[in-house]
Amino acid sequence: TALEQDATVTVTRGDTGEQQSLTLPGKAPNSSGTDNGNGTVTDSSTGLIWQQTDDTTYRDWQGAIDYCDALTLGGSSAWRLPSIDELQSLIDTSYTPTIDPIFIGTARHAYWSNTTDESWPPIAWGVNFNDADVSDFGQGSTLYVRCVR
C-alpha cells in the first residue's frame, strides 16, 4: 500500500554498490488525483499537475528534458521533468502498475526524473512503475517520461 507518512529508503547503485538514502514522501493510501479533463491530473496531496498519459516513447535523459520543456498540454507550456521525490510521490503499490489508474496507460517500465546522482552526474534517477523500484540509470539509457508542472 501507499506510505501514510514519509519513509527513508536506501538504494544501492548496481555498478558500484554505493548506497544512497532517499526519502519517499507519504500520502494517503489509494489517494487519487483529480482528472482535469484536459489530459492532466492534479495531485491533491502535492498540488502538482501531471501529464495524465505518457506518449509511450522511450527517450534518453536529455531527450526527456527536451520533451517536457517543449510540451504544451492543458493550456500550459510550463512543463518539466519531475524530481525523483516528485516522481516517487506517484508510487502506489496497491495498483499494478504501481500508480493510480487515473494515470492512463502507464507502462510497467522505468520513468525518468531530473535528479542526477550527486557523486556521478552522468547518472540520473528513475522510478520503475512495474515494481516501485527506484534506480539509477546512465543518461544514455532510454526510459519513459511523465511531465509535471
Which residue matches cell numbers 507519504?
26
Cell of 23: 526519502
Res 23: pLDDT = 60
Per-residue pLDDT of the chain (149 residues; tens, 9 = 90+): 344 455 555 555 656 666 666 565 554 444 569 999 999 999 999 999 999 999 999 999 999 999 999 999 999 999 999 999 999 999 999 999 999 999 999 999 999 999 999 888 899 999 999 999 999 999 999 999 999 99
Q: How many residues does the chain have?
A: 149
- Which among 28, 47, 130, 37 has a CA at the least distance from the CA of 75? 37
Cell of 115: 535528479
pTM of the model: 0.79
